[in-house]
Amino acid sequence: MNITLNQNDTTNANLKVVLQEADYAPKVDEKIKEYTKKAQIKGFRPGKVPAGLIRKMYGKSILAEEINGLLSKSVNDYIKENNIRILGEPLPDETKQNAIDWDNQKDFEFDFELGILPDFELNPAAGETLDAYKIELDEETINQVHEHLQRQYGETANPETSEANDYLSGELRQLEGEFKTTTLLPINKIKKNQEQFIGVKAGYVITFDLQEVFDNDASAISHVTGVRKAETAELKGNFEFAVEKINRTAAAEFNQELFDKIFGKDAVTTEEEFNNKLRETLAENYQQEADKVLKNKLVEKLVKETEITLPEEFFKKWLAVSNQGKLTPEQIEENFEQYKDELKWSMIRNKIVEENDIKVSNEEVVNATKAKMFAQFNMPEISDELADTMNGYIDNYLKQNNGRNYINEYEAILAEKVLDVLKDKVTVVEKSVTADEFRNLSF
């Protein structure tokens, strides 16, 4: 066997593998002997089928299987032993691959394209300054959450004609554009020309300027359309809303039944306790969002300012092959900058992991999963009797999807540790903002 690496430049290389008969013949002969012992062919006793007959019947498929296995192992071993950092996996070089004559050919040549990931200098934003947000809960936000919870747990009806506190369900469509979505439109959040939406029935079509009726409120428009706040300004001009249904919810009362539904049985027993618990929960959720914003800014800054030369043409080929035709060339081109940024961040993250010897233990993965499960089921703690059951449930969850759930949890913890390392290298300036102001910031 002969393997030759020809590096064209810093990010692209070709790998040639030449297999000779001596490389694969012993394995093929061994496999044929196995077949003679197991094959059941009419006219021959078990284990007495001639090797020549097996070779004639199955020799070609055995040869192809053994060569493919040997080729894959040899290429992977070569890359590992020579410490070649590649993007994805080797791709067959279609321009050099000749048709194989499995009946007569003895020596085989295979050519692969490699995308090489170059080394790079990492300067993790040393001395940089980033804004962090401390969220102050304002009364308007608390009142909005009260209203939302009362609606969420209230009784819903579908009246014939709309009133000011109803939700309209239907299709929102841009008249001079391509945007279209099915959504719920809250009439009481409309700031101008609200009368257009009151007194309507199913089947009505309302025409209006989206920016005008919401008074250019990016947060409200984002909530209705599902578009990111930073992109809502692009939704210009007149829209049509085709009313399909009117939703009216009678607000749920603030009583023990509501308290139990939201926070669990007897977790709070008075409205004062409920409001304190609500503030605590909201503060925690908003701070998690604020921390996420800070981390996203840090990642964006690193990706933007770290110079990494990528094998772009190979990357495009690999994206097409690895996604098995699910991505068209047009889609790859359209989203290529995003794919590049994701790859660069992956390389930066791996370098930080190596340089800082960051590790994630199995115990950390299990404990993080357990904490999420407790939060999902609204259980601050569990009894000893339920502990074994919960541990079994967590173990089963982490093994699902061929272990993908475990890997996802592992990767999430690893990413948090990397970002914690990076946060120590920047100066964070804390800014206090209300929850309403935070919601309206563009990220």
Domain total of the chain:
3
Residues 246, 260 share a domain? no
Is residue 224 included in any domain, yes or no? yes
Residues 417, 269 share a domain? yes
Residues 428, 302 share a domain? yes
Among residues 87, 115, 143, the one where a domain terminates is 115
Among residues 250, 277, 294, the one where a domain terminates is 250
Taking the whole predicted model, whether its pTM rises above 0.75 is answered as no
List average pLDDT for each run of 10 residues in the chain, which is 443 residues long.
92 94 90 82 79 84 91 94 94 85 89 93 70 88 88 90 94 94 94 95 96 92 89 93 94 90 88 92 90 89 90 94 87 94 93 93 91 69 67 86 90 90 83 85 66
CATH number of the domain where residue 79 is located = 3.30.70.1050
Residues 163, 294 share a domain? no
Among residues 115, 146, 166, the one where a domain terminates is 115
Is residue 124 included in any domain, yes or no? no
Residues 357, 429 share a domain? yes
CATH number of the domain where residue 171 is located = 3.10.50
Q: What is the 3-state secondary structure (H, E, C) of the chain?
A: CEEEEEECCCCEEEEEEEECHHHHHHHHHHHHHHHHHHCCCCCCCCCCCCHHHHHHHHHHHHHHHHHHHHHHHHHHHHHHHCCCCECCCCEECCCCCCCCCCCCCCCEEEEEEEEECCCCCCCCCCCCEEEEEEEECCHHHHHHHHHHHHHHCCEEECCCCCCCCCEEEEEEEECCCCCEEEEEEEHHHCCCCHHHHCCCCCCCEEEEEHHHHCCCCHHHHHHHHCCCHHHHHHCCCEEEEEEEEEEEEECCCCCHHHHHHHHCCCCCCCHHHHHHHHHHHHHHHHHHHHHHHHHHHHHHHHHHHCCCCCCHHHHHHHHHHHCCCCCCHHHHHHCHHHHHHHHHHHHHHHHHHHHHCCCCCHHHHHHHHHHHHHHHCCCCCCCHHHHHHHHHHHHHHHHCHHHHHHHHHHHHHHHHHHHHHHHCCCEEEEEEEEHHHHHCCCC
Residues 194, 87 share a domain? no
Output the pLDDT for position 358.
Answer: 95
Residues 319, 396 share a domain? yes
Residues 385, 266 share a domain? yes
Residues 184, 92 share a domain? no
Output the pLDDT for position 442.
Answer: 62
Is residue 60 included in any domain, yes or no? yes
Is residue 135 included in any domain, yes or no? no
Output the pLDDT for position 246.
Answer: 96
Residues 409, 291 share a domain? yes
Q: Which domain holds residue 359?
A: 256-439
Output the pLDDT for position 152.
Answer: 87
Is residue 139 included in any domain, yes or no? no
Is residue 137 included in any domain, yes or no? no
